[in-house]
Amino acid sequence: MGIFMILFTLLGGITLSAQSSINGTFSRKAGTIETTLLTFITGFMFLLIFILFFGHGDVLAILEAPKWQLSAAFLGTMYLLLTVMAVPRIGVIATNIAGIIGQLVIGLIIDHFGWFHSLVIPLDLKRSFALLFMMIALYFIYKGNKRSSDEIQTQHK
């Protein structure tokens, strides 16, 4: 089952990058907040239909959840809004790498301290180097994007 979860997550990453690109382009016409709203309205309608046909949980359990757990909805909204803002300015890959680095940073902290009832996995040299290499990759991707963007603007003048 683990390999399927990796493949599902890989597919999720592919759809997230495609969504980032499409939303970034669409936001130039409709606006950043409006594009984010459309994404959530569409997602709400899709999930409502999906829940009606396939749901086995208890939607009303939301009312019983601790308030801090409900913050995840706000965090997801902020992630999407910030991504829609970033893609037209720095490109899809730089936006996604920066997002992944952000996920790695908070993931390392959460694992190290065992926050939110997660496993405690201490920060070690290997994990630190992995994060450092991601940051180096972001630097080179961003610089490459900036150079390409500058060259395109120079050609159009």
The pTM assigned to this predicted structure is 0.77
Residues of the domain holding 21: 2-38+67-155
- Quote the CA–CA distance of 123 and 27 in Å, as a whole number: 38
Q: Do the Cβ atoms of 87 and 23 come closer than 8 Å?
A: yes
Question: Is residue 54 one of the residues assigned to a domain?
Answer: no
**pLDDT(152) > 90:** no
Mean pLDDT score of the chain: 90
Answer whether residue 46 is part of any domain. no
Q: Are 100 and 134 in contact (CB under 8 A)?
A: yes
Residue 57 lies in a domain: no
Domain count, the chain: 1
Q: How many CB atoms lie within 10 A of CB 87?
A: 24
Q: What is the pLDDT of residue 146?
A: 80
Mean pLDDT of 106-115: 94
For 79, residues 6+ apart whose C-beta sits below 8 A from its C-beta are 99
For the chain, the maximum distance between any two Cα atoms, rounded to a whole number of angstroms, is 60
Mean pLDDT of 92-113: 93
**Rounded mean pLDDT, 121-147:** 93
Residue 47 maps to a domain: no
Residue 147 lies in a domain: yes
Q: How far apart are CA 76 and CA 99, in angstroms?
A: 12
Domain assignment present for residue 44? The answer is no
Asked if residue 55 belongs to a domain, the reply is no
- Whether the per-residue pLDDT at 100 is higher than 70: the answer is yes
